[in-house]
Amino acid sequence: MKFQPDKTVVCLLALLMLGHTAAGWAHAFPEHAEPGAGAWLAAPPHEVLIRFDHMLETSFSSLRVEDAQGHRVDKGRAQAGSDDPHLMKVSLPRLKPGIYQVIWTAVSLDGHRTQGDYLFTIR
Amino acid sequence: MNRTIYTPAAGRAFICALISSIVLLCTPAAWSHGFAGKRFFPTTLVVEDPFVADEFSVLYRHIKEPGEEVSGPSVRNDSLDVEYSKTLSRQWGVSIAGQFLNLHTNGGNKDDGYSNVEVGTKYQLYTSAAHEALLSVGINAEIGDSGNASIGVESYSVYSPAVFFGKGFGDLWDNHPLLKPLAITGVIATNFPSKTRSNTEEGPVRNPITVSYGLTLQYNMQYLQSFVRDYGLGAPFNHLIPVVEFDMSTCTDRGCKGDTTATANPGLLWFGKSFQLGLGAQIPLNHRTGDDIGILALVHLFIDDLFPHSLGAPLFGR
C-alpha cells in the first residue's frame, strides 16, 4: 500500500467537513463581550453582555458581576438566550468607580460546559 | 517466529473495521476535552497531551534524519501518524495509534510500510480549575513486530510508563496580566524494551532503556481576548495558539548511555468548534538529530464535540 498524497488530502478534507457539519454542537466560547475583558470605562455600563459562538442552554448558563470585595452587584437573574440563543446578559445598577469582575458559565445545547471570568474598571 | 503480513487489502480492512467500531460505539452523555477551569489546553504537535479525551488525530511529518550508522546515508522520512483516543470514564481513557512511513535514503533506496502499533491508557489523577492544572499517569505499549519488516520495525515490544502535566499561568503574575495566557504541558516517560537483546541482519544488538521527555510552552490568544484584555481580535486570530515544543530522548544504558536526541518544534495551532489544525517546524537541536528542518501538519477532531451523545461520551459514568 503506497502513500498517496492525493488520497490523503481528500481524507483530511473529509475529516474537516465532518468537523464543520457538527458546528451546532461543541463547547461555547465567547465571541464578544461588553464591556470587554480589561476594559477601562469612563462611564458605568448599564449591562454586561457576552455573545458566544454556540447556542446556549438557558437553564444552566449563568452570568454575574461582583465588586472588588466579592459582593454581587448585578440586578440578578441573567438573561441567557431569551431572544438570541447565543447571547447572555445581565443588567447593572449605577456602579461606582472601581474594579469589577464578570463571572460566567456557559452550557451549550449538547451539555458541554465552559466557564470564565474577567475584570473591567470604571474610572 | 510468525510475522504478520500487511497487504493493501488488510490495511483497508483494518481501517474499515476501525471506522465501523467507532460508529457502532454508542453510549449516552458527553464530556469535555482539554479543560482545567477556563483554560483550554490544545492538542500539541509532538508532545503528548496531559488530558483524557475523545479525539482523533492525523499528523503528517516530513523530516530528513541521520542514518543509524554514523557515516551512513541520511533518510528522508514522510509519515502519517493516526491516533484515536477513547474515554472509558471522565478520568480514564485508552488509545491506539499507527503510523505509515515512507523512507528514502540518499543512496536511492525506498521503503514504506506500517510501523508498530501502539496502544496506551491514561488516567487523569488531578484537575484544578482554580490553578488551571492537570496531572495524569499512563502507560503506552509499542507492540513488537506488529508493523512491516520493510521499514525495520523492532521485533520486541516497548513499555513506557509516563507522567503528564499541564499548568496554565492564569492564577499567577497578577502584576503582569499579559503573561496569564501562557501555559506549559509536559511528559516524562521511561521506555523499557521487552528484550535486552535482539537479532538483526547485522547481528545481535542490545536494546537500551531510554527516557523520553517533552515540554511545551503555549500562548492562548482566546484566553488573552476573553479573560485578560479584549484587543478586538477577529477570526482566525482569536483562536490561535502559538506554541513551541521540546521533544527529547536520552539513552540510559547498554552501550549508548547519555546519547540524546532533541528537537524544538515551534508552531501555530488553531482551534475551531469541533476540530483543531496545527502547522509547525521540527528543528534538530544536536548532531544526533540531524541538520535538516522538518515539517509537521496536524488535523485533530474533537470527537466529544462531534458526537456528544454517542461516540464522544465516556463508556462509563457521566
- Among B305, B309, B310, most A C-beta atoms within 10 A, so best to mutate, is B305
**Which residues are bridge partners to A121 per DSSP?**
A40, A99
Longest CA–CA span in chain A (Å) reads: 70
Is A61 within the bounds of a domain? Answer: yes
What is the structure's pLDDT at B149?
85
Q: Provide φ and ψ at B18, rounded to 5°.
A: -65, -45
Q: What is the 3-state secondary structure (H, E, C) of B223-289?
A: HHHHHHCCCCCCCCHHHEEEEEEEEEEEECCCCCCCCEEEEEEEEEEEECCCEEEEEEEEEECCHHH
Helical (H) or strand (E) element with B219: strand B210-219
CA atoms within a 13 Å half-sphere pointing along the CA-CB vector of A44: 15
Q: For residue B60, give the nearest of A14, A21, A11 by alpha carbon.
A: A11
Using the Cβ of A11 and the Cβ atoms of chain B, whether some distance falls under 8 Å is answered with yes
- The CA–CA distances, whole Å, from B4 to B11, B157, B242, B283 equal 12, 15, 41, 35
Is A57 within the bounds of a domain? Answer: yes
Q: What is the DSSP letter of A24?
A: T
What is the structure's pLDDT at B45?
96
Query: What's this model's pTM, rounded to 2 decimal places?
Result: 0.83
pLDDT in tens, chain A (123 residues): 444 555 655 655 555 555 444 444 578 999 999 999 999 999 999 999 999 988 898 788 999 999 999 999 999 877 766 678 899 999 999 999 999 999 999 998 878 899 999 999 999
Is A2 within the bounds of a domain? Answer: no
Using the Cβ of B275 and the Cβ atoms of chain A, whether some distance falls under 8 Å is answered with yes
- Percent of chain B whose pLDDT exceeds 70: 87
On whether the CB atoms of residues B15 and B23 are closer than 8 A, the answer is no
Query: Residue type at A120?
Result: F
Is A83 within the bounds of a domain? Answer: yes
Per residue in B271-294, pLDDT (tens digit) is 998 899 999 999 999 888 888 899
- The CA–CA distances, whole Å, from B8 to B3, B111, B113, B114, B175 equal 16, 15, 10, 11, 59
Helical (H) or strand (E) element with B137: strand B133-142
Using the Cβ of A34 and the Cβ atoms of chain B, whether some distance falls under 8 Å is answered with no
Per residue in B35-87, pLDDT (tens digit) is 999 999 999 999 999 999 999 999 999 988 776 655 566 788 899 999 999 99
Q: In CATH, what class is B8-306?
A: mainly beta
What is the structure's pLDDT at B111?
87
**Torsion angle of alpha carbons A68, A69, A73, A77, nearest 10°?**
110
Helical (H) or strand (E) element with A30: strand A30-34
User: Grid coordinates standing for A79?
Assistant: 438573561
Nearest-angstrom CA–CA distance, B26 and B35: 24
Nearest-angstrom CA–CA distance, B68 and B71: 9
pLDDT tier, B198 (very low <50, low <70, confident <90, very high otherwise): confident
Query: Residue type at B34?
Result: G
- Residues of chain A contacting residue B129, judged by C-beta atoms under 8 Å apart: 115
What is the structure's pLDDT at B255?
79
pLDDT tier, B15 (very low <50, low <70, confident <90, very high otherwise): very low
Give the total residue count for chain A: 123
Per residue in B208-262, pLDDT (tens digit) is 999 999 999 999 999 999 999 999 998 899 999 999 999 999 999 877 888 899 9
Domain that holds residue A108: 27-122
Nearest-angstrom CA–CA distance, B137 and B122: 6
User: Grid coordinates standing for B234?
Assistant: 477577529
* Domain CATH number, residue A47: 2.60.40.1220
**Which residues are bridge partners to B251 per DSSP?**
B210
Using the Cβ of A19 and the Cβ atoms of chain B, whether some distance falls under 8 Å is answered with yes
On whether the CB atoms of residues A78 and A102 are closer than 8 A, the answer is no
Q: What is the mean pLDDT of chain B?
A: 86
Domain ranges of chain B: 8-306
- Among A13, A27, A118, most B C-beta atoms within 10 A, so best to mutate, is A27
Q: Tell me the shortest Cα–Cα distance from A77 to chain B, in angstroms.
A: 22
Q: How many domains does chain A have?
A: 1
**Which one has a higher pLDDT value, B308 or B226?**
B226
SS3 B57: strand
**Which of A70-84, B6-20, B177-191, B197-211 is predicted with the least confidence, judged by mean pLDDT?**
B6-20
On whether the CB atoms of residues A14 and B301 are closer than 8 A, the answer is no
- Residues of chain B contacting residue A36, judged by C-beta atoms under 8 Å apart: 229-230, 232
